[in-house]
Every structure is written in C-alpha cells, then in structure tokens.
C-alpha cells in the first residue's frame, strides 16, 4: 500500500492552495494513506488548515525556529529523515517545491519525477517535457521511494471538511547554518493570486511601457481577475517577475485567460494550455496566440482594451 | 576564488518546435538544431562576469554527453571560458547520475562556486543543481536573478512565486541561473578561432568510478492534446457576447 508524505507549502500563517492540489493528486493513487508535514517556526494554524483537507490521514507539525523560512538546505535533511517508512514523498511544483524536492531526492538516493500531471498507478505517471510539447509516461522503480513534484495546474484543490489528527514530530537531523534567509520582497497586490484566480488578464510587450500596463490592471479589476504578463513584458521591466506566466514562470489554469498584446511563444502557451477559455487580443492576425485562442479579436489593444473594460464594468 | 565550474547541456534549440516520433519512442532530434541550454548560457555569462571583475581566476565549462557536445563546449570557450571538460557517454544520464558526475568533478577541481542553469529546456526536470548541492553538503541558491560575492559568502536574489527572496550563503556553493540574471554576450569570430586552441579534455564516464542511479523509465511519448479550434470576433461587442455565451461575464 502507498504511504505518502506530502510537504505543505505555507507562509507561516496560511496554507498555500498548492498543498490542496497536491493532496488531490496524491488521492488519485488508490488506497493511499496521505500524511501532510508542516515545517514552520510555529505551525499550529497551518497544520489546522491542512487537517481540514479531505483524504488526509494525519498532519505532522514540525516546529523549529530554523523552519521560520523555507530554506531547502535546512528542510531537506528533516524531510529525508521523516521519509523513512513512506513509499512516496510529494511536494508542489512551485518555486518552493522545485527548490526543495530534488535536494530531498538526492539525500534519499533517488531521481525525482518532476511535474506529475496525471496518475496512472502508484509508480506510473504522466509529465510534460519540452515546454509541454511532448507528454511522457514514466515509471519509477517499485523498490525505491518515489519523490515527486505535482504540476498544480493539473489538479483542482481537494475539498475541506476533514478533521485529521495533528501530531507534533521532530525528526533527528543535523541542520546546516551555511544558508541564511535575508528577506522577501513580495509584490503588493489586492488582486486575486495568479495561481488560483478564476480569471486572469495578461499583457505582453505590445503594452510598450510600465504606465500602459494600467490598461491591463483596469480590465483585471473590472473582471475581478488576477494580472499576469509574458516574459517579454517582464524582461522589459514593465512589471515584476512574479507576474510572469509560462514555462519558466507560473503555470496557471484559470477559467478565463485574456492575452493582450502577447504573440504566444510556445514557452508562454505552455503556461496557459489548461485554461478553460483563452481570449486573444492582438493586432497581428498571424500571431501564434490565435492558434490556441477560443476567441480571437484582431485589432489595436489601445482601442480595444478601454472599450472592453467599460463594457465589462457596465455589466 | 580560484575557480568556477559551469555546466553546459546540449539541448534542442529554444526555437525548434519539438515533435513526438510517430511510434511514441521519443521526440524527433534528427537534423534538429542543437544549442547550449539557454539557462546554462546565462550561468556561464555570470561566471565570466565574476572573473572579469577579478573575483575568480578561472572558468571551467563541463558537459556530459556524446562527442557532439564538444560543439557546445567550444562555444563556451569562445564566450570566454578558460578550459573545458567533456564526460563522454553515449547513453543519456538521469539527473541524479549527472549530479554524481558533477560531484566527482567538484572533488577533482575544487571550485569555489558551481554555476548551472535552473533547468534544461528538454526534459524540464529542474533537479541537477539541487541534487549536486545535496551530495556536496553545500548551500544551493536556485532561480538566481542577482549574485553578489562578498569574499567567503554570497548574497543571492532568487525569483520565487511571491516575488524576490534574498539569501546569504557560504561558499563554496551551487547557484542556478534564472532568465533575468544577465543577458549572455554574443560570440565574435576571432573568439571562435581562439577557442580552438583552448584545452578540451575528455573523460570517459565509465572510467570515472561514478555509480549510476536507477533512472525513472520513460515508457512512452505522446503529443499534447490540442485545443479545439476557436472563433474570431470582429469587435468588442462580439467579444462581450461570446464571453456571455460561455457564462464568463
């Protein structure tokens, strides 16, 4: 039987939605027993949120001042010690999980399965490669622990309503002091989080300046949407890196994605291919974004976007 | 520091639209343009800038693969690396075995810093740097967008989902490069000529004494599901009505 250790992502106070998506993936493995590990300075509040998730058997609360910030070098030895007796160790394919899980895998002496998008069996999965231009079915050895990250855009968050037991735990691990957290500069935004927003409006290089991105923000606000950007817009300095959508930015799956002035490089398309409806607004009718768009409109974004914002506001 | 080690992987070029072979045994790579993995090129550029600032004295580029990977190492030498090492193997190595090869090279070369790309754009695994750091028992700074060296330590800014995180790490360490760390230089013709005279050593993987890890088996490849063909609308009114039809407004 599969026994899965799942590493929770959180900011010290709130469980990140990526965790509930990971649980949804883990629950696809039939008969799996799922334990969620919360590494924090004081993780009671986060552990309580994890205990509410359906399919979770128990929550392990690992309080330690060294866990105040998620540093892979500090967490990996603890996860690796805790992993004894588990058949699987899962984490989200977010920057948190991508940083941590390969370090855990190496300590356990196994390769990692990156970006699980479909579960075919306890050791058989599908994952995307080449920016999503190919899907590969992979199989891990049944004799070794499976360490994996979950492509969160492929899963709906599992529902709450559970009340799993929370247990304190303290794995026996030597923690290094060679890696020290300094600070985090988080973008301040009242808009919905890109990775969980039902609607997302993104702008590209055609916006041509940071000021013009106001057009994107106004439309996003009228729709109650999150705001994103293409790599080109981030590279040009119009908006900060946390807004980047694509192969090396965020992979998202909103119900509605509106791409404005984005040509649609394959690296961008891989970040949005699971969106419910894709709308493209671009003046170049040959732009590759129209190949994946459900609704396309050719024209000048500087005319169209204000009109669209007004039309949406008046609904 | 004396030395920086940089990993360069030979991959299908960034601009190629990759196709799955009809028998599902892999992706088509015959006759396809190959390049240095773009993130590795950024890692190399960073190493060269560190050396040019006088903070390192040698940049060594390493690759693991068939003899054709010499091309990418020569490009690295033309960019400005001092010498190159190719670990020769005809079989594709899994990330953990690749990390073990790098660990063996770290033991032999004793670098003060290892710079790698955050991921290779072929298998999109994003594992090797973190695994090397684990095997080495040293710090890792993944997804780096800024690196500032301060003697025995480095301050690294990392691109994370919520924004930018800064960490302070002791050296030696592994740093993996993200897109905005720098913009790699173009190679000039005289540098390509000069690169031909720089040392490129080959080491047979089988002779390194590195134990192969158990790979994750690739059973079958398939193309992604295509989205259904969409509609074009003429104006904002058409767009609004199409969105209403789908219940999105």
Report pLDDT for B190: 94
Range of the domain at B69: 3-245
The 3-state DSSP class for residue A50 equals: helix
Q: Which CATH class is domain A199-313?
A: alpha beta
Residue B213 has pLDDT above 80, yes or no: yes
CATH of the domain at B119: 3.40.50.620
Report pLDDT for A202: 98
Of B155, B213, B218, which is closest to A182 when you measure between CB atoms?
Answer: B155
Residue A231 has pLDDT above 90, yes or no: yes
Chain B within 8 Å of A287 (Cβ-Cβ)? no
Count how many domains chain B has.
1
With pLDDT > 70 as the criterion, what percentage of chain B qualifies?
Answer: 100
Residues B37 and A163: their CA atoms lie apart, in Å, by 47
Chain A residues touching residue B135 (CB < 8 angstroms): 106
Chain A residues touching residue B218 (CB < 8 angstroms): 136-138
The model's confidence at residue A261, banded by pLDDT at 50, 70 and 90, is very high
Of the candidate ranges A228-237, B194-203, B224-233, the one whose mean pLDDT is the lowest: B224-233
Tokens of B10: 């030979």
Identical fold between A3-168 and A199-313 = yes
Give mean pLDDT, residues A266-283. Answer: 95
Distance (Å) from the alpha carbon of B219 to chain A's nearest alpha carbon: 5
Report pLDDT for A190: 86
Return mean pLDDT, chain B.
96
Indicate yes or no: CB of B135 within 8 angstroms of CB of A138: no
Determine the CATH number of domain A3-168.
Answer: 3.40.50.620
pLDDT tens for each residue of B72-86: 999 999 999 999 999
Indicate yes or no: CB of A111 within 8 angstroms of CB of B96: yes
Chain B within 8 Å of A242 (Cβ-Cβ)? yes
Of A73, A111, A279, which is closest to B239 when you measure between CB atoms?
Answer: A279
Residue B221 has pLDDT above 80, yes or no: yes
Chain A within 8 Å of B71 (Cβ-Cβ)? no
With pLDDT > 90 as the criterion, what percentage of chain B qualifies?
Answer: 95
pLDDT tens for each residue of A176-229: 999 999 999 987 788 999 988 999 999 999 999 999 999 999 999 999 999 999
Chain B within 8 Å of A256 (Cβ-Cβ)? yes
CB pairs under 8 A between A and B: 248
Chain A residues touching residue B214 (CB < 8 angstroms): 110-111, 141, 144
pLDDT tens for each residue of B130-156: 999 999 999 999 999 999 999 999 999
β strands within chain A, DSSP E: 3-7, 33-40, 56-63, 88-92, 112-116, 118-121, 124-129, 134-139, 146-150, 165-168, 179-186, 199-203, 226-229, 256-260, 277-282, 295-298
pLDDT tens for each residue of B86-103: 999 999 899 999 999 999
Report pLDDT for A1: 86
Indicate yes or no: CB of A248 within 8 angstroms of CB of B240: no
Distance (Å) from the alpha carbon of B197 to chain A's nearest alpha carbon: 34
Of the candidate ranges A185-189, A190-194, B107-111, B215-219, the one whose mean pLDDT is the lowest: A185-189
Chain A within 8 Å of B124 (Cβ-Cβ)? yes
pLDDT tens for each residue of B2-59: 999 999 999 999 999 899 999 999 999 999 999 999 999 999 999 999 999 999 999 9
The model's confidence at residue A75, banded by pLDDT at 50, 70 and 90, is very high
The 3-state DSSP class for residue A153 equals: helix
Indicate yes or no: CB of A109 within 8 angstroms of CB of B236: no
Residue A46 has pLDDT above 90, yes or no: yes
Distance (Å) from the alpha carbon of B49 to chain A's nearest alpha carbon: 20
Q: The complex's ipTM?
A: 0.96
Residue spans per domain, chain A: 3-168, 199-313
Report pLDDT for A248: 83
pLDDT tens for each residue of A89-142: 999 999 999 999 999 999 999 999 999 999 999 999 999 999 999 999 999 999
Residue B211 has pLDDT above 80, yes or no: yes
Answer whether A103's CB lies under 8 Å from A76's CB: yes
């Amino acid at each position: 039987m599969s026994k899965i250790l799942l590493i929770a992502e959180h900011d010290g106070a709130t469980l990140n939605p990526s965790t509930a998506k990971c649980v949804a993936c883990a629950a696809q493995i039939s008969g799996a027993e799922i334990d969620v590990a919360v590494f924090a300075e004081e993780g009671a509040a986060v552990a309580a949120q994890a205990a509410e998730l359906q399919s979770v058997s128990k929550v392990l609360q690992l309080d330690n001042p060294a866990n105040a910030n998620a540093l892979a070098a500090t967490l990996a030895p603890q996860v690796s010690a805790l992993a004894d007796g588990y058949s699987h160790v899962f984490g989200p394919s977010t920057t948190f999980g991508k940083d941590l899980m390969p370090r855990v895998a190496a300590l356990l002496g196994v390769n990692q399965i990156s970006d699980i998008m479909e579960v075919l069996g306890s050791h058989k999965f599908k994952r995307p490669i080449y920016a999503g231009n190919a899907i590969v079915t992979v199989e891990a050895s049944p004799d070794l622990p499976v360490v994996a990250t979950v492509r969160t855009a492929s899963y709906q968050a599992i529902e709450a309503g559970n009340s799993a037991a929370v247990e304190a735990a303290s794995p026996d691990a030597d923690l290094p002091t060679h890696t020290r957290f300094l600070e985090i500069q988080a973008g301040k935004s009242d808009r919905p989080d890109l990775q969980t927003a039902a609607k997302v409006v993104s702008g590209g290089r055609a916006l041509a300046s940071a000021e013009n991105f106001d057009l994107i923000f106004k439309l996003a606000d009228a729709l109650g949407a999150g705001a994103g950007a293409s790599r080109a817009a981030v590279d040009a300095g119009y908006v900060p890196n946390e807004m980047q959508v694509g192969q090396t930015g965020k992979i998202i799956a909103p119900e509605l994605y509106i791409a404005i002035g984005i040509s649609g490089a394959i690296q961008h398309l891989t970040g949005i291919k699971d969106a419910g409806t894709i709308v493209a607004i671009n003046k170049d009718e040959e732009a590759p974004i129209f190949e994946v768009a459900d609704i396309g409109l050719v024209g000048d974004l500087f005319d169209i976007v204000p009109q669209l914002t007004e039309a949406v506001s008046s609904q | 520091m004396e030395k920086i080690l940089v990993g360069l992987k030979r991959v299908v070029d960034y601009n190629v639209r990759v196709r799955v072979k009809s028998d599902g045994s892999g992706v088509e790579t015959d006759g396809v343009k190959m390049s240095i993995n773009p993130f590795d090129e950024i890692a190399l550029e960073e190493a060269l800038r560190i050396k040019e600032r006088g903070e390192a004295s040698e940049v060594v580029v390493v690759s693991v693969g068939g003899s054709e990977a010499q091309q990418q190492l020569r490009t690295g030498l033309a960019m400005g690396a001092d010498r190159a090492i190719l670990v020769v193997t005809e079989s594709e190595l899994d990330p953990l075995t690749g990390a073990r090869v790098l660990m063996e090279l770290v033991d032999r070369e004793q670098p003060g810093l290892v710079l790698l790309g955050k991921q290779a754009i072929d298998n999109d695994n994003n594992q090797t740097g973190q695994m090397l750091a684990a095997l080495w028992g040293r710090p890792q700074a993944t997804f780096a967008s800024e690196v500032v060296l301060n003697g025995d330590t480095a301050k690294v800014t990392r691109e994370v989902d919520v924004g930018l995180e800064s960490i302070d790490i002791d050296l030696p360490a592994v740093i993996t490069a993200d897109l905005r760390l720098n913009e790699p230089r173009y190679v000039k013709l005289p540098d390509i000529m000069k690169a031909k005279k720089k040392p490129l050593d080959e080491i047979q993987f089988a002779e390194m004494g590195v134990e192969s890890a158990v790979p994750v088996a690739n059973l079958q490849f398939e193309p992604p599901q295509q989205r259904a063909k969409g509609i074009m609308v003429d104006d904002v009114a058409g767009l609004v009505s199409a969105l209403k039809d789908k219940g999105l407004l």
